[in-house]
Structure 1
Amino acid sequence: MERKSPSIATIPAPGFSHLLPLIEFSKRLVVHHPHFYISFFIPTLGPPSPSTYSIFESLPPQIDFTFLPEINMEDLKTLDAETQIYQTVTLSLPSLRRHALTSFASPTHRLVAMVIDFFSMDALDIAKELKLKSYVLYPSATTSLSLCLHFPELDENHEMVPTGFRDLSQPLKLPGCISFQGKDLPDPFLERSSEAYKTILHACKQLRLPDGIIVNSFVDLEPEVVNALQESNQNQYPLVYHVGPIIQTRSTNISESDSECLRWLDNQPRNSVLYVSFGSGGTLSQDQLEELAQGLEMSGHKFLWVVRAPSASTNSAYLSAQKEDPLSYVPQGFLDRTKGQGFVVPSWAPQIEVLKHDSTGGFLTHCGWNSTLEAMVYGKPMIVWPLFAEQRMNAVMLTEQFKVAVRPIGDENNNGIVKREEVARVVKILMEGDEGKELRRRIQVFKDAAAKAVSEDGSSIMTLSNLAQEWTNLIGN
């Protein structure tokens, strides 16, 4: 009787920044180990976008996908984004059970393991029911993973965090990590009484339960915290596997209008353009959007800006697409005045191709971990402008630990808004002068380290091979 091939079930969480690392991890696994078969079971809060469908339809034949029935948005509308995401997965578990059991009976593949997102923790119960090995793909830095692993113990110290981490009197220093002020920690950690705090605490407690944690980082990027987790393991935490950087290698669905910005880049001098983008869901207020526009104009430097319609919420476009025309919100006359200096794109740009481009000399970014890794892989120094999630932690790491970025200072007397003069100042630091050259030199070091990690005998590829061998060995058990 012919031996079955190993099959992996993957359960992402809603939100492109959670879906992307699982997709790219799966692609890398089947490229290096083509005998694997991977099934995506995708919880949905609304109808999948055409771009999401096209991504899945372009995947290798060893990867299939099922969109689970939509969860009623009305049931979750009053919740914060983190709890919405978590509850969407939890409410999808009954249909997931039905699909997982069907997959389990495949004549050609044996389901041996389940890989889930950090916000899909309640799916661990299904892995246990099916006697599967379970793994969490943690989509961010090892440093923020360390915070999550230590969070349950930190939460018990009510003297240190009486009402939440916002009130920390001393910087938080985790083993192997740089220090963080309370205000730099993710929003859900800041207020003990919030629903988001309870959601994240629950997820962090569950993080002790899987057989392993797969991290989208690489050993040479964060060696101190990697070593600290290894030393403190002693069966306290699951095994941690560093397989990053996991990023897209090309953008999907580049339309004619998207190609226009790339043609514009083709006509610009080398390293002359600042790319400005706040990720797949970040939004600015109207006042901040206007200050950013005026600051880019004042800087005198060329820019390619992905504009999204403003909102009072920093993540309003994360779980639902915006319908307004973003270009109608920029200052009057701005597009005409900056015609030769800048190129403005509504809502989306082919980021991989932009960051690869020789004309792109820097990246003003919200510090989402996917964008951070892409900037490192393509060697672009950054202006960091964090908005939500763990982005403030990433910003501290990029400026103080890696020293590959500069951070604008907000006006404390005006809701933290970054004024146009400050925008112009940091753009000039990045794009001209000695400090910008030093940032560019340092980012090249990380670019080389990232390339080495995913080379044929690099640390991340070897770790992936070891993990694949562990899963293959389960066929005989």
Structure 2
Amino acid sequence: MQNSQPHAALLVSPGMGHLIPALELGKRMATHHGFHVTVFIVAEGHASTSLLKSPNNYPENLDVVLLPPVDISAIVGPDASLTVKMIFIMRQSLPLLRSEILTMKIRPTMLIVDIFGTEAFTIADEFGVLRYVFITSNAWLLALSVYSSAAAKEVTEEHVKKHKPLKIPGCKSIIRFEDTLDALQDPNDPLLQGFIALGGVISKADGILVNTWEDLETSTIQSFRDTKLLGQIVEAVYPIGPLVRWVGQGGSDHPVMDWLDKQPAKSVIYVSFGSGGTLSAKQMIELAWGLELSRQRFIWVVRPPSDHDASGSYFTIVQSIDVDSDYLPDGFLNRTRDVGFVVPMWAPQVDILSHPSVGGFLSHCGWNSTLESIMNGVPMVAWPLYAEQKMNAALLAEEIGVAIRPKQSPVGDGVVGREEVEKMVRKIMVEEEGRAMRKRAVELKYSGEKALSKGACSYNSLSQVAKECLQCLIGS
């Protein structure tokens, strides 16, 4: 059974960084581009499931389907990396996706997957639907992926083994070895070959959607059109961002908002490491002292430390904790009571970043948080922890110009000392360099808003996808 309305199915991996942009993409496709949309979510006991308890005013032609959880304990050990866990969770969820599609009265015209869901292309082929990839991160990560596939020998020999910087044709910035993905830092890592193969799979999609926009990554986006990254020009790349939550979708009744209302404009730095990020016990102590020494107002979302896994909270359901515990310096809460607000586990990030009292964001540089910061005109202290966050930090600091980075990498066993924390916080909040970054962030905020408006670049990119799907539907 078919109709004249294109029907998009989105398969979403666990985690807020995937779920939030996918839901925003679904809403825009349904509201602005004439799609019926079904979002299939693999939510492996993650805190992101709380986002689904309220429909957030989903349009009538958008359906959300939560796939049953899968058990990977017999396949993957508890110490496996986050990436490995995600790969197997998605793989084990494919039969569930297939079963759901079989029960649909109107089959999808297209299947959109994120980078962990590309194995679902076999299901798309089975049902004869278009295959699209949604890069919930930036165009630089996409360029690295497709170039690693096209120039696998060079990437492996020069970058992975010899630690030389990687220059992707057409891209403005180089990727230093210390900023690269974890999978590209060890030639014996089994994820290396998987990442190299991923670029080839992505390149065979009918289209690639990216959560960015022309003005934010001009040279990288242009490189796909002008440079033969894959032996041919990659024309089917669609920058459709920024896809972020907007004010009112977070949770503005949180007590932190009342505290913010009493603070001067641009005086508060917000400190959060995303829905999954954790710090070591030693790093938490140094960060606490640095915030105190800076004498700046702050909001800090605190989680228990982990000395083994920076993504230790990724699959943890949000729960209450006692913040007055032995992982903060003695007396810290009392000494900072007048200038700081410590929030256990979770805070309404969008509402905080949009508040006029917030002037900076100390962030793990997840792309979702990055865009939320930029779209509220807030500069950043870039503090990457895992995944592509080191690359994001480099991009933000050295090309986009809205962030500063610590000299000592906080990734792995590195510890950023209290003195450097103090300097970075003061630099972003009260010094001239921070004011210049804030001005740049505000410029990009308006640029991003314009990109999504009717007739502008990101709007037109998604319109082109809709046109292609409609043509496929009519011709079928």
TM-score, normalised to structure 2, is 0.92
Secondary structure in 1 aligned to 2:341? strand
> Structure 1 CA distance, aligned partners of 2:46 and 2:155?
42
2:244 maps to which residue? 247
Distance 1:272 1:255, change over 3 A: closer
SS for the counterpart of 2:73 is helix
Kindly indicate whether the alpha-carbon contact (under 8 Å) linking 1:6 and 1:471 is maintained by their aligned counterparts in 2.
yes
Deviations 1:33-85 (A, max 9, x none): 3x421112223434776513315575222111222232114132343211211
Distance in 1 between the 2:40 and 2:237 partners?
Answer: 24
Which amino acid letter does the alignment assign opposite residue 60 of structure 2?
A: P
Secondary structure at the counterpart of residue 427 of structure 2: helix
Map of 1:228 onto structure 2:
223
* Matches of 2:265 and 2:247, distance apart in 1: 21
**Secondary structure at the counterpart of residue 207 of structure 1:** helix
Q: Which residue is 1:30 aligned to?
A: 30
Instruction: Assess, with a 3 A threshold, how the Cα gap between structure 1 residues 255 and 354 changes in structure 2: closer, same or farther.
Output: closer
- Give, in whole Å, the separation in 1 of the partners of 2:136 and 2:470: 24
1:12 maps to 2:12 = yes
In structure 1, what is the equivalent of residue 202 of structure 2?
A: 207
2:126 equivalent among 102, 126, 129: 129
**Sequence identity percentage:** 35
Contact 1:86 1:199 in 2 (8 A): no
Instruction: Give the Cα–Cα distance (whole angstroms) in 1 for the partners of residues 338 and 463 of structure 2.
Output: 49
Whole-angstrom distance in 1 between the partners of 2:388 and 2:162: 18
Q: Please say if residues 178 and 401 of structure 1, whose CA atoms lie closer than 8 Å, have aligned partners that are also in contact.
A: yes
Q: 1:378–1:411: structure 2 CA closer, same or farther, 3 Å change rule?
A: closer
- How far 1:101 moved relative to its partner? 2.0
Asked if residue 97 in structure 1 is aligned to residue 93 in structure 2, the reply is no
Q: Secondary structure at the match of 2:203?
A: coil
Query: Mean Cα displacement is larger for which, 382-391 or 242-251?
Result: 242-251
Per-residue CA distance 1:385-419 (angstroms, 9 max, x = gap): 0111111111111111112111122289x942001
Question: Relative to 1, partners in 2 of residues 1:37 and 1:193: Cα closer, same or farther, differing over 3 Å?
Answer: same
Match of 2:138 in 1: 141
Give 2:176's match in structure 1, choosing from 153, 177, 181.
181
Distance 2:43 2:444 in 1: 36
For 1:47 and 1:220, the matched residues in 2 are separated by 33
Tell me which amino acid in the other structure corresponds to 1:232.
Answer: T
What is the alpha-carbon distance in structure 1 between the residues aligned to residue 455 and residue 155 of structure 2?
46
Describe how 1:418-429 pairs up with structure 2 within 5 A.
Answer: 418-429=416-427
Alpha-carbon offset, residue 202 of structure 1: 3.3
Contact 2:381 2:425 in 1 (8 A): yes
Q: 1:347-401, CA deviations, whole angstroms, 9 ceiling, x for partnerless residues?
A: 1111111111110011111111111111111100111101111111111111111
1:305 to 278, 300, 306: 300
8 A Cα contact 1:408 1:418, kept in partner: yes
| CA distance, structure 1, for counterparts of residue 271 and residue 232 of structure 2 | 44
More displaced 10-residue stretch of structure 1: 83-92 or 173-182:
173-182
> Equivalent residue for 1:438?
436
Q: Please tell me whether the aligned partners of residues 15 and 46 of structure 2 are also in contact (alpha carbons under 8 angstroms).
A: no
Q: Residues 100-111 of structure 1: matches in 2 within 5 Å?
A: 100-103=101-104, 105-106=105-106, 110-111=107-108
Do the aligned partners of 1:44 and 1:88 also contact (CA within 8 Å) in 2?
Answer: no
Query: What amino acid is the match of 1:42?
Result: I
Using the TM superposition, give the Cα deviation of residue 209 of structure 1 relative to its aligned residue in structure 2, in angstroms: 1.7
Select which of 148, 154, 159 maps to 1:157.
154
Q: Which residue does 2:333 correspond to in 1?
A: 335
Distance 1:217 1:408, change over 3 A: same
CA displacement, residues 416-464 of structure 1 (integer Å, 9 cap, x when unaligned): 2001111001111111122122112222221221122112222111111
**Aligned partner of residue 24 in structure 2, secondary structure:** helix
Label 1:474 to 1:171 Cα distance change in 2 as closer, same or farther (>3 A). closer
Does 2:316 correspond to 1:320? Answer: yes
1:97-132 alpha-carbon deviations (Å, 9 max, x no partner): 1211222x43xxx52111111110100011111111
Q: Hey, what does 1:114 align to over in structure 2? A: 111
* Equivalent position SS for 1:70: coil
Q: Which range is displaced more, 229-238 or 126-135?
A: 229-238
Given candidates 371, 374, 377, the residue that maps to 2:372 is 374
Which secondary structure state, in structure 2, belongs to the residue aligned with residue 316 of structure 1? coil
User: How much does 1:216 deviate?
Assistant: 0.2
CA change 1:246–1:326 in 2 (3 A) is farther
Structure 2 residue corresponding to 1:458, chosen from 456, 459, 462: 456
Give 1:376's aligned amino acid: I
Of 144, 164, 174, the match for 1:169: 164
What is the CA–CA distance in structure 2 between the aligned matches of 1:20 and 1:72, rounded to whole Å?
24
Alignment of 1:81-96 (within 5 A): 81-96=82-97
Cα distance in 2 for partners of 1:238, 1:127 equals 21
SS for the counterpart of 1:5 is coil
Q: Which amino acid letter does the alignment assign opposite residue 93 of structure 1?
A: L
- What is the CA-CA distance between 1:476 and the residue it aligns to? 1.3
How many angstroms apart in 2 are the aligned matches of 1:48 and 1:318? 8
Q: Which moved more, 1:285-294 or 1:322-331?
A: 322-331
SS in 2 for 1:115: strand
Structure 2 match to 1:219: 214
Preserved CA contact (<8 Å) 1:146 1:174: no
Note closer, same or farther for the CA distance 1:140–1:158 as it changes in structure 2 (3 Å cut).
Answer: closer
Once residues 167 and 384 of structure 2 are traced to their aligned partners in structure 1, the CA distance between those partners, rounded to angstroms, is: 19
Secondary structure of the structure 2 residue equivalent to 1:387: coil
For residues 2 and 418 of structure 1, what CA distance do their matches in structure 2 show? Answer: 58
Superposed displacement of residue 187, structure 1:
1.0
Cα pair distance change 1:31/1:74, threshold 3 Å: same
Q: Gaps spanning 5+ residues in structure 1: where?
A: none
- 1:172 Cα shift? 3.7
The residue correspondences of 1:355-394 to structure 2 (distance < 5 A) are: 355-394=353-392
Q: For the aligned residues, what is the CA RMSD?
A: 2.3
Correspondence 1:59 to 2:55: no
CA contact (8 A) 2:283 2:415 kept: yes
